[in-house]
Amino acid sequence: MKTSENGINFIKSYEGFSARAYQLGDGGWTIGYGSYNVPGVGANTVWTEQQATAQLKKDVVRFENAVNGIGATLNQNQFDALVSFTYNLGPGWITTYPAMPQALRDQNWKYMTDSMMNFVNPGSQFEAGLRRRRAAEVKLFNSGGTPQKPSQPNKSQDSAAIAKFKKAGNGYKVTKAFRVDELKQINGMWQIVNYKLAGGKPVNWTNNGIPVAIVDKTDSSGKKTSNQVLKVGDYAKFMPSYDNGKIDAYDTPTNGVGIVMGKYGMIWYNADEWLKL
């Protein structure tokens, strides 16, 4: 079996599109729809959405082969859901948890979908996003002949804010302060989030956490304060070296703009709120 166009679009909606290559701190380069360590991709690589889609279709072949190798009889939606699941986790689950592929061969669908929901990295900053993805994959798996849309918003057209950024050549300049709604040490680095900039709650710290090292503490008007120790309820503003540049990626389904903040990698912001800054 091959992944359908609905399956490809499903994966796209959860991976998000990055036109520019970026690093996550593991030494490799990621670009497009989660394509990792593609030959020739480096710091200055920029792709079109068409290039990213073409690479994604090449990437999924390995995961299609893994799912096909289970030897189960599946409908198209079940297959698409499993390819998304395997694209996200890697094919190791098939050999590490043999009861799951056996459940597929036995058509014990409930055991399989219940098991899928366990792969959410509980207690980590990834948990909320993984729970959303797993729930959407299970819904697709159980949807019979008609694929269901992901649980995230799935807009077919750019929002007005994204359209404005694109019309302006993807450039931005942020000048206003924003409120610190949460402050946490994640992976050894202090980060802050603003709920509006993050697109609401719950917050995905991996996608939406802003390193304290790239902001100045300010008053509500944006004036830098003498005391630079941040706490929840304070205001902050991006430092001059981070308050302007070009947007590196757009995610239309979630109305997101992604910006590579130097060595800190890509951070995602709500397009409407980023435009207001």
User: Which residue numbers are catalytic?
Assistant: 15
Give the 3-state secondary structure of the chain. Answer: CCCCHHHHHHHHHHHCCEEEEECCCCCCCEEECCEECCCCCCCCCECCHHHHHHHHHHHHHHHHHHHHCCCCCCCHHHHHHHHHHHHHHCCCHHHHCCHHHHHHHCCCHHHHHHHHCCCCCCCCCCHHHHHHHHHHHHHHHCCCCCCCCCCCCCCCCCCHHHHHHHHCCCEEECCCCEECCEEEEECCEEEEECCCCCCCCCCCHHHHCEEHHHEEEECCCCCECCCCCCCCCCEEEECCCCCEEECCEEEHHHCEEEEECHHHCEEEEEHHHHHHC
34-43 long-range contacts, CB within 8 A, separation 24+: 34/59, 34/87, 35/59
Under a CB-based contact definition with an 8 Å cutoff, are residues 1 and 76 in contact?
A: yes
**Rounded distance, CA 75 to CA 41, Å?**
36
- Residue 202 CA to its chain's centroid (Å): 14
